[in-house]
Structure 1
Amino acid sequence: MADKKQKRKTFAEQKKAYDKTRSRTRVTIGSAFQRWKELKEREGLRSDAEVALFLLDR
């Protein structure tokens, strides 16, 4: 029987796969970015996910 070896992904290949997965959840907010950051700081929110939930729950 032939020995099957799995080729390890290089760091660049791993990063590319990670970036592709991550890009599926990205939202571009353009000129609203400054307001987003200000709201995040003013409300003491730690992550962008918390800001999004804050806005959805309003």
Structure 2
Amino acid sequence: MGSKFVAMAVIAVLFGQHVAFTGAFGGVIAFFAIIFAVLGVEGVIGKVMARREVVVA
């Protein structure tokens, strides 16, 4: 779960004032979009790493 906060911090540093989690609609939608994007990337990385372990072993 901590990786989601790290991802949000990196986004804040990279994009600065161009990203704002404001308002009920914009903040909630943006928050969940980032969470689902991070989960998707972690899933893809997990599958790639699993394939590497099978090939190497």
TM-score range, shorter chain: under 0.3
TM-score, structure 2 normalization: 0.28
Tell me which structure has the larger Cα radius of gyration.
Answer: 1
Higher relative CO (CA 8 A, sep ≥ 6), structure 1 or 2?
Answer: 2
- Structure (1/2) with the larger helix percentage: 2
